[in-house]
Amino acid sequence: MKKRNADHEMPAGKLSRVADFLPPPEKLVLPEETVKVTIALKKSSVEFFKKEARKHHAKYQKMIRELLDRYASRYQDRAA
C-alpha cells in the first residue's frame, strides 16, 4: 500500500456547503453617481498611493477614491 503525504492546503474533515452570498452579475455593473473634484494633496501622499498601486497593479486614483468612500460610509451616520 502506498502512503500518501497530507496536503496541508486541502480541506480536512467533514465539508459543508455555504450559502451563496455574492450578488448576481447584473448588480456588479451598475454605475455609481460620481462627481469630479479638484483637490490638492501632499506630494508624499500621492507618491505613496502611486507606489502601492504599482505594487498591486491598480490605479492610484481608484485607491484614493476607495479610501475616501470607506471613510465616509464609516462616519456618515455619526454626522447626523
Band (54; pLDDT cuts 50, 70, 90): very high
CA dihedral of 37, 40, 42, 44, whole degrees rounded to 10:
50
Q: From the CB of residue 63, how many other CB atoms can be counted at a distance below 10 Å?
A: 16
Of 41, 25, 14, which Cα lies nearest the Cα of 50? 41
Model pTM score: 0.59
* Residue 11 in domain: no
**CA-to-CA distance for 74 and 8, rounded, in angstroms?**
37
* Residue 3 in domain: no
* Residue 63 in domain: yes
Answer with the residue of higher pLDDT: 34 or 1. Answer: 34
* Residue 52 in domain: yes
* Residue 24 in domain: no
Instruction: Note down the domain range covering 64.
Output: 47-80
* Residue 58 in domain: yes
pLDDT (0 to 100) of residue 79: 61
